[in-house]
Amino acid sequence: MTVVTLLHPGAMGAAVGRQAVSAGHTVLWVGSGRSDATRRRAADAGLTERPDLASALAESEVVLSVCPPAYAEDVAREVAGFTGVYVEANAIAPERSLRIAGLLPSARVVDGGIIGGPPKHPGATRLYLSGDATNVPELFAGTALDVVVLPGDVGVASALKIAYASYQKTTWALAAVSHALAAAHGVGDQLLAEAERLHARPLLQTESYPDMAARGWRWAPEMLEAAATLRAAGLPTGLAEGSAEAMRRWDPAKDRPDLPLADILKLLAPGEPTEV
């Protein structure tokens, strides 16, 4: 059995922690100052609470970081001096993964990238790893989280995650913006009819837009990570930056997946921010 500290468990982090618990490991988290929603997620996932980070780290062989990308380096600084395995599993640019490795010289930093939703059944979600990932896949053996170790050093897994996200999330943002444009000119039904003829997903899947908008606050920084990665590779950044801007306009929809589609599209329209 391995003892793992999960830092700042959101929906994805708690779901990943649940998989490690189901594999027979102990997953710790620090509940001080956390919301009731986070506490419910942690309890449902079978996580074990500790009063402070120092006590959790003293027991742990592994630290797992799954948090919004903007906070990845701040989270790493919280465990400066840790001497175990630090799994950096956030959607960040490869350059930031390398910076985080530099912040933790006493730890064995493993780069990670999660593709797919919160793991529920095998084959749907993959955790890609790069660097010295020895013993990390065993944390999730036989669980719903598929682990793939990539050849290469820290930064490789992050590059794959960002490459995938720059396509997948930009496609959804482009589809929503297209519907907002059509709605502004009164041709929304006709655009949807063309999407049906073409079987064009996600242009066709408008029922998914409210849930996507509710997560826009988290996806916008991820698209900025994509832009930074593209810039470093000498590739165009405009698509990723435009996606980030569209997702920032969804800030009023944060964590509100029940909003009507019409309101979601109005948030994308130019002019004064829309109250919803």
DSSP-assigned letter for residue 17: H
Q: Are 139 and 61 contained in the same domain?
A: yes
Residue at a domain's end among 107, 123, 153: 153
Confidence of residue 276 (pLDDT cuts 50, 70, 90): low
Q: Are 141 and 23 contained in the same domain?
A: yes
Q: Tens digits of per-residue pLDDT, 165-214? A: 999 999 999 999 999 999 999 999 999 999 999 999 999 999 999 999 99
Residue at a domain's end among 153, 188, 211: 153
Q: Helices 156-184 and 188-198: crossing angle, nearest 10°?
A: 130
Q: What distance in Å separates the CA atoms of residue 168 and residue 171, rounded to the nearest whole number?
A: 5
Q: Are 133 and 198 contained in the same domain?
A: no
pLDDT at 271 over 70: no
Task: Determine what percent of the chain is predicted with pLDDT higher than 90.
Answer: 91
Residue at a domain's end among 105, 136, 153: 153
Q: Is the peptide bond before 118 cis (omega within 30 degrees of 0)?
A: no
pTM confidence score: 0.92
Which domain range does residue 44 map to?
3-153
Confidence of residue 273 (pLDDT cuts 50, 70, 90): very low
Q: What distance in Å separates the CA atoms of residue 86 and residue 108, rounded to the nearest whole number?
A: 6
Q: Are 106 and 143 contained in the same domain?
A: yes
Kindly state the helix (H) or strand (E) to which residue 179 belongs, with its residue range.
Answer: helix 156-184
CB 68 within 8 A of CB 10: yes
Q: What distance in Å separates the CA atoms of residue 17 and residue 45, rounded to the nearest whole number?
A: 7
Q: Tens digits of per-residue pLDDT, 214-268? A: 999 999 999 999 999 999 999 999 999 999 999 999 999 999 999 999 999 999 9
Number of domains the chain is built from: 2
Phi–psi pair at 155, nearest 5 degrees: 115, -25
Distance of CA 274 to the CA centre of its chain: 26
Q: Which CATH number fits the domain that encloses residue 166? A: 1.10.1040
Q: What is the mean pLDDT of the chain?
A: 94
* 275 within a domain of the structure (yes/no): no
Name the token pair of 162: 């960002």
* 276 within a domain of the structure (yes/no): no
pLDDT at 72 over 90: yes
* 49 within a domain of the structure (yes/no): yes
Q: Which CATH number fits the domain that encloses residue 112? A: 3.40.50.720
What is residue 44's predicted lDDT score, i.e. its pLDDT? 95
What is residue 274's predicted lDDT score, i.e. its pLDDT? 47
Q: Helices 216-232 and 94-103: crossing angle, nearest 10°?
A: 100
CB 204 within 8 A of CB 196: yes
